[in-house]
Amino acid sequence: MQGRKKVVRELIFDPEIEKTVKANRKAVRLAHQAALLASGTEEILEEEVPSSNTSNDATESMAGVNPPPRRTLGDYGQATGGHNPNLGFQPLNPVSFDIKNTVLSALKENQFSGKESECPNIHLARFYEACGYTDPTGVSESNKKLRLFPLSLTGRAKDWIDTLPPNTIA
């Protein structure tokens, strides 16, 4: 069986690959400029040879689309709607109360994510059952459920409840 003979080259580790790439691009750019000068043309278009530090910007500007502003990791953790999430689920007269571990574990093991395969009625039945495990003094049943309901959600359902405007649910 005859075929192409494979040439195996040993790859050399380059700890400063970015500097090497920059030097290679500079060499190509200088060679291109020398070729243009030798041919008598002195115009060098920026689009012909993109510089190494703006390679990402050049591809985005070629598409005609302005890139979005750069965001730091801390920007993603801040609320963007001008309000804090879950304010719609805060009771009017907040009273602090302890939540038992049994209630928390019951809520966490029966979380609702909003998938089509999940039944919201079954989730609500299990949620009401978990709420029955605790009876804090000085807290109405509706306030207790408003505080506990976000803990029973995950995924798309949690995202939905986080986007509700403040004071929409009382």
Q: Is residue 14 over pLDDT 80?
A: yes
Distance CA 168, CA 160 (A): 13
**pLDDT score at 91:** 54
List pLDDT tens digits, range 48-104: 444 545 555 555 455 567 777 777 776 666 655 555 555 555 555 555 666 777 778
Could you give the percent of the chain with pLDDT greater than 90? 7
List pLDDT tens digits, range 107-117: 888 888 878 88
Domain layout of the chain by residue ranges? 17-65, 81-162
Q: How many residues can be counted in the chain?
A: 170
